Amino acid sequence: MKAEIIAVGTELLLGQIVNSNAQYLSRELAALGIDVYFQTVVGDNMNRLSEAIKLAAERADLLLFTGGLGPTQDDLTKDAVAAVLGRSLHIDRMAMDHVDRYFKDRGAPMTENNIRQALSIDGSTPLPNETGLAVGNAVAADGKFYVLLPGPPSEMKPMYENQAKPWIMQHVLTMEEPLYSKMLKFAGIGESGLETRLLDLIENQSDPTVAPYAKESEVTIRISTKAKTESEAMDKLDKLEAEIASRLPDHLYANEDVPIEKTIVDMMTEQGLTVSAAESCTGGLLMQSLTSIPGSAAVFLGGIVCYSNAMKEKLLNVPHDLLEGENAPGAVSAETAKVLAEQVRMIVDTDFGLSITGVAGPAYSERKPVGLVYIGISRRGGDTAVYELNLKGNRDTIRLRSAKTVLYHLWKQLKAEQSGK
């Protein structure tokens, strides 16, 4: 089974955006055991797009498209695939209702061009768009499979996961032994550190296969195996997972693809624990990542962004002498991180209080270097731990790593408490 990914959009050819869709879909297809032989990017141009479709149909069995499903005259993907297949387009009733409802709900007039977002290729399966307007399409023709997805990742990913992937598994992958995978997620360790500890497993892999990859401040390993039944596959995967877990007990936080904040919210919900936060240089990033998890309201009660020194004093009772003066430790210090964590825990009245204060850059602050960050974790009826971080990278990276490091230490503490009970 050979696949080709075709991303459609002049903005890609102008370099205005990076083709993250091709990476996402390549990884997903690899997980299904489907080989991607080519990725192609083509602009919003009928001739060149048609050329690319014909070529891909010669060299691949499964063609995945992203982009070009929108309302404008530049959005040509459905027109082009229909033309190459010698089919027509029709308005999909459900998709049209979805578009109509969207505009009615807003009391906004629907402009004519939005009808294009409800078009479907004759004989195709429409793929509903949960997070946007343009309907996707999946169609089998002449022994080849065509799957049309929208361009914005926020629409493409849910449509792939919930609509296209099941369609591919049912229509494309019927003959093959299915592939089963598990995602193992790690925190507090880099990709090369992880690889070093698992080198023999990675190098001698055959079945299950072991594929590590890194995102910003996260490392993931996907272990995969083909098997006739799910239970046969899971036996093999569970055994390997146990081996990996025994080597990295302080870093493996989940065996599914979730961020560490999800694991934390689940653990705290189960134990009836609550948390609050005081953020300086991260400006709300830590709290926004915790509250991005559905159900976090039971765990995260509130917090304070104290960007200025005045706010650290006023809202979080940090003593003035700690912040300012000849020999004061300053806002970026272990002392301030400790007070922030303890105060926010008491003010919001939670079991844990988290704090972050540091220099995110680009400019120095308090004559301290960019990347110097202090984080605190205060425990009701317990101690307050403070960590000094020396982070590399730009402003965004430093902020993200600061938040992720607090979450890592909070997870470690929750785990230690759990096993201590």
Q: Which of residues 356-415 bind a second copy (CB under 8 A)?
A: 361-363, 390, 392-397, 399
Nearer to a second copy, 140 or 317 (CB): 317
In 3D space, the residue among 33, 14, 54, 9 whose CA is nearest the CA of residue 22 turns out to be 9
- In whole angstroms, what separates CA 219 from the centre of its chain? 12
Binds a second copy (CB under 8 A): choice among 83, 202, 258, 346: 202
Q: How far is the CB of 93 from a second copy (least distance, A)?
A: 19
Q: How far is CA 23 from CA 14, 26, 112, 153, 213, in A?
A: 18, 5, 34, 11, 12
Q: Is 207 an interacting residue with respect to a second copy (CB under 8 A)?
A: no
Position among 50, 87, 144, 307 found at the interface with a second copy (CB under 8 A): 307
Assess 158 for contact with a second copy (CB under 8 A). yes
Output the smallest distance, CB 285 to a second copy, in A: 4
CB 339 within 8 A of CB 262: no
Q: Considering the complex, what minimum distance in angstroms separates the CB of residue 257 from a second copy?
A: 8
With binding defined as CB under 8 A, does residue 55 bind a second copy? yes
Shortest Å, Cβ 373 to a second copy: 13
- By CB under 8 A, the residues from 267 to 296 that bind a second copy are 277, 279, 281-288, 290-292, 294-296
Q: Is 301 in the site for a second copy (CB under 8 A)?
A: yes
- Cα–Cα distances (Å) from 376 to 26, 316, 341, 369, 395, in that order, read 39, 14, 6, 19, 20
CA distances from 35 to 63, 168, 277 (A): 12, 14, 45
Q: If binding is defined by CB under 8 A, does position 42 make contact with a second copy? A: yes
Angle at 327 between CA 322 and CA 330, to 5 degrees: 40
DSSP, collapsed to helix, strand or coil, labels residue 179 as strand
Whole-angstrom distance, CA of residue 385 vs CA of residue 13: 49
CB-nearer residue toward a second copy: 63 or 139: 63
Binding mask 99-138 for a second copy (x = CB under 8 A): ---x--xx----x-xx---------------xxx------
178, 311, 198: which is closest to 252 by C-alpha?
198
Instruction: Please state the closest distance from residue 279 (CB atom) to a second copy, in A.
Output: 7
Segment 225 to 264, residues that bind a second copy, using CB under 8 A: none
Amino acid type, 203: E
Cis peptide before 362 (omega within 30 of 0): yes
Rounded least distance, CB 282 to a second copy, Å = 7
Shortest CB 334 distance to a second copy, Å: 17
Is 211 an interacting residue with respect to a second copy (CB under 8 A)?
A: yes
CA distance 364 to 47: 53
What is the rounded CA–CA span in Å between residue 259 and residue 213? 15
Q: Taking contact as CB under 8 A, which single stretch among the options 10-18, 76-84, 87-95, 245-253 is the one that binds a second copy?
A: 10-18
Residue from the set 46, 94, 245, 297 that interacts with a second copy by CB under 8 A: 297
Is 36 a binder of a second copy (CB under 8 A)?
A: yes
Number of residues that bind a second copy (CB under 8 A): 111
* Residue partners of 113: CB distance under 8 A and separation at least 6: 71, 72, 73
Q: Does 94 bind a second copy (CB under 8 A)?
A: no
- Are 30 and 71 in contact by the 8 Å Cβ rule? The answer is no
3-state DSSP assignment of residue 320: helix
Binding segment for a second copy (CB under 8 A), chosen from 8-16, 88-96, 165-173, 225-233, is: 8-16
Q: Does 40 participate in binding a second copy (rule CB under 8 A)? A: yes
CB-wise, 171 or 395, nearer to a second copy?
Answer: 395
Which of 138/370 has CB closer to a second copy? Answer: 370
Nearest approach, Cβ of 130 to a second copy (angstroms)?
7
Among 1, 10, 328, 385, the residue binding a second copy under the rule CB under 8 A is 10
Under the binding rule (CB under 8 A), the answer on residue 13 touching a second copy is yes
Does 52 bind a second copy (CB under 8 A)? Our answer is yes
DSSP labels, 86-134: T--EEE-HHHHHHHHHHHHHHT-PPPGGGGGGGEEETTPEEE--SSSSP
| 41 touches a second copy by CB under 8 A | yes
The pair of three-digit structure tokens given for residue 95, joined into one six-digit string: 């998709």
